[in-house]
């Protein structure tokens, strides 16, 4: 995939999402910018609360209207439509058809009182012109495509009759039944064991190749990112702090937070002096009490006075012209086998 020859299918510019709370209005996603190109997989990573899921739900416009605010200057450009300001009637045409989403826990996403077939039929009924038999045939075909055994029988069953891995496959089938241009997957393998996780990731990669769907993968698992993503967006405290092709990010992280994340991956034989696994010291700052300068300053071992006084912009630096939000980026290599940097 070459960014020089293709136009992005989705452009996110200046995305800012806030929430009304008892303590006042808090901004959860602030000035987020990125592109999604046809047929690529982008990973968005970061600690819990960094803004990954809020970003994805803002794109889909699935946040509760009563307490969420999308800044009117935000742009989510898809097929000549700004999803940030589009009326709900237009969003219904896009949501589930052109852009689909897989949620983290399939048991809470599937309706327990309706059969698997009914829930697939509901998506097809709204977004296609197939008749009842055509929708049933398409639903069974999708269950077969996601490698569910005995799809004709599973079509008649209820969610509680399926395993966690099978339910997640059903969610993928529902999301892909209208062959969307973009699939947003929010922690799609978190609740699954390692074997099923590998199967789901392989299935998503295979379906991407077959259908040409772009994937936006929301995860905290860097192992998953390394396995399936083309590019990576790292978020911290509501902002993007680094973007890079996956191989560059893993080999040469430039932001101290990215480097610390990679060094926190458990590795055989890698322990600190007290025998504990490597961790990032400190905690993510409260969105209600963000520091004046760099949001990572209290946890950064390379902090200087400029970091305290001025928040850095997300700009390209001289190393390899990729965006990083740091006054003093460091082009250090990470040995993913031993965890050593040099």
DSSP state of 162: S
* CA distance linking residue 185 with residue 106, whole number of Å: 12
Is 160 a residue whose pLDDT tops 50?
yes
The share of the chain scoring above pLDDT 90, in percent, equals 62
Residues 104 and 143 placed together within one structural domain of the fold:
yes
* CA distance linking residue 61 with residue 287, whole number of Å: 22
Residues 280 and 153 placed together within one structural domain of the fold:
no
Is 339 a residue whose pLDDT tops 50?
no
- In this prediction, residue 181 carries a pLDDT of 93
Least confident of 23-32, 218-227, 288-297: 218-227
pLDDT range class, residue 165, cuts 50, 70, 90: confident
Classify residue 85: in a domain, yes or no: yes
Is 196 a residue whose pLDDT tops 90?
no
Residue range(s) defining the domain that contains residue 269: 261-324
Classify residue 133: in a domain, yes or no: yes
Residues 219 and 274 placed together within one structural domain of the fold:
no
Classify residue 332: in a domain, yes or no: no
- In this prediction, residue 333 carries a pLDDT of 64
Residues 211 and 292 placed together within one structural domain of the fold:
no
Classify residue 15: in a domain, yes or no: yes
Helix (H, G, I), strand (E, B) or coil at 174: helix
Classify residue 5: in a domain, yes or no: no
Residues 104 and 32 placed together within one structural domain of the fold:
yes
Residues 108 and 145 placed together within one structural domain of the fold:
yes
Classify residue 246: in a domain, yes or no: no
Give the tens place of pLDDT for each residue, 39-88: 999 999 999 889 999 999 999 999 998 999 999 999 999 999 999 999 99
* CA distance linking residue 77 with residue 75, whole number of Å: 6
Which CATH number characterizes residue 106's domain?
3.40.50.300
pLDDT range class, residue 4, cuts 50, 70, 90: very low
Classify residue 241: in a domain, yes or no: no
pLDDT range class, residue 306, cuts 50, 70, 90: very high
pLDDT range class, residue 342, cuts 50, 70, 90: very low
* CA distance linking residue 53 with residue 50, whole number of Å: 8
Ramachandran assignment for 321, one of left (phi > 0), alpha (psi -120 to 50 degrees), beta (any other): left
Is 2 a residue whose pLDDT tops 60?
no
Give the tens place of pLDDT for each residue, 89-98: 999 999 989 9
Classify residue 187: in a domain, yes or no: yes
The DSSP secondary structure of 206-252, one letter per residue, reads: HHHHHH--EEEEE-S-HHHHHHH-SEEEEEETTEEEEEEEHHHHHHS
When divided into structural domains, the chain yields a total of 2
Question: Domain ends where: 235, 269, 297?
Answer: 235
Arithmetic mean of pLDDT over the chain: 88
Residues 184 and 295 placed together within one structural domain of the fold:
no
Q: What is the mean pLDDT of residues 99-105?
A: 86
Buried b (16+ CB within 10 A) or exposed e, 184-198: bbbbbbebbeeebbe
Residues 189 and 287 placed together within one structural domain of the fold:
no
* CA distance linking residue 93 with residue 95, whole number of Å: 6
* CA distance linking residue 293 with residue 264, whole number of Å: 25
Give the tens place of pLDDT for each residue, 316-329: 776 677 899 999 98
Helix (H) or strand (E) run with residue 100 in it? strand 99-102
Helix (H) or strand (E) run with residue 153 in it? helix 151-154
Residues 204 and 158 placed together within one structural domain of the fold:
yes
Residues 94 and 175 placed together within one structural domain of the fold:
yes
The share of the chain scoring above pLDDT 70, in percent, equals 91
Is 338 a residue whose pLDDT tops 60?
no
Residues 204 and 270 placed together within one structural domain of the fold:
no
**Token representation of residue 64:** 């509760």
Is 337 a residue whose pLDDT tops 60?
no
- In this prediction, residue 1 carries a pLDDT of 45
Residues 72 and 172 placed together within one structural domain of the fold:
yes
Helix (H, G, I), strand (E, B) or coil at 182: strand
Is 119 a residue whose pLDDT tops 70?
yes
* CA distance linking residue 302 with residue 34, whole number of Å: 27
């Amino acid at each position: 995939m070459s960014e020089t020859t293709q136009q992005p299918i989705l452009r996110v510019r200046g995305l800012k999402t806030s929430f009304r709370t008892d303590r006042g209005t808090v901004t959860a996603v602030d000035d987020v910018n990125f592109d999604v190109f046809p047929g690529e997989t982008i990973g968005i990573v970061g600690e819990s609360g960094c803004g990954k899921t809020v970003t994805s739900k803002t794109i889909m416009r699935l946040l509760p209207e009563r307490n969420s605010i999308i800044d009117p200057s935000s742009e989510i450009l898809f097929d000549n439509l700004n999803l940030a300001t589009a009326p709900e009637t237009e969003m219904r045409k896009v949501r589930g058809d052109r852009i689909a989403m897989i949620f983290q826990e399939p048991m809470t996403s599937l309706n327990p009182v309706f059969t698997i077939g009914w829930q697939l039929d509901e998506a097809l009924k709204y977004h296609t012109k197939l008749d009842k038999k055509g929708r049933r045939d398409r639903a069974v075909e999708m269950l077969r495509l996601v490698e569910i055994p005995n799809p004709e029988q599973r079509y008649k069953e209820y969610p509680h009759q399926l395993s966690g891995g099978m339910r997640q496959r059903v969610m993928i089938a529902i999301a892909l039944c209208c062959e969307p241009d973009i699939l947003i997957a929010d922690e799609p393998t978190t609740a699954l064991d390692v074997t099923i996780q590998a199967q789901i990731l392989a299935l998503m990669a295979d379906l991407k190749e077959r259908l040409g769907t772009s994937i936006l993968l929301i995860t905290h698992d860097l192992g998953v990112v390394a396995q399936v993503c083309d590019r990576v967006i790292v978020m911290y405290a509501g902002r993007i702090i680094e973007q890079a092709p996956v191989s560059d990010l893993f080999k040469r992280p430039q932001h101290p937070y990215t480097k610390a994340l990679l060094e926190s991956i458990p590795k055989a034989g890698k322990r600190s002096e007290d025998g504990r696994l490597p961790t990032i010291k400190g905690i993510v700052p409260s969105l209600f009490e963000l520091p004046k300068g760099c949001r990572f300053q209290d946890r950064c071992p390379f902090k200087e006075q400029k970091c305290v006084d001025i928040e850095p912009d997300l700009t390209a630096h001289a190393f390899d012209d990729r965006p990083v939000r740091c006054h003093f980026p460091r082009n250090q290599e990470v040995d993913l086998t031993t965890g050593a940097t040099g």
